[in-house]
Amino acid sequence: MALDDASKSKIMDKVKAKFDGATIQMTEKIDESILGGFIVKIGDKQIDASVASQLTNLKSILLN
């Protein structure tokens, strides 16, 4: 589901702080495969805060 305005604002503030207040444009895309959370892509960098990613990491830890 779409992010609420407060969540969008928090994400934008953190991204701006990371990139010294640069002008940021947000494009929102809903991807049901990530199960929840969000993925931020900036140029060639990616911040994956999705539930699917966290479950994959947990599975890897438990199986090794």
Q: pLDDT per residue over 2-61, tens digit each?
A: 889 999 899 888 888 888 877 888 889 999 999 998 898 888 888 899 999 999 999 999
Over residues 49-58, the pLDDT tens digits come to 999 999 999 9
Q: What is the DSSP letter of 3?
A: P
Write down the pLDDT at residue 62: 96
Domain count, the chain: 1
d(CA 63, CA 38): 25
pTM above 0.75, yes or no: no
Query: In whole angstroms, how large is the CA radius of gyration of the chain?
Result: 14
Write down the pLDDT at residue 25: 85
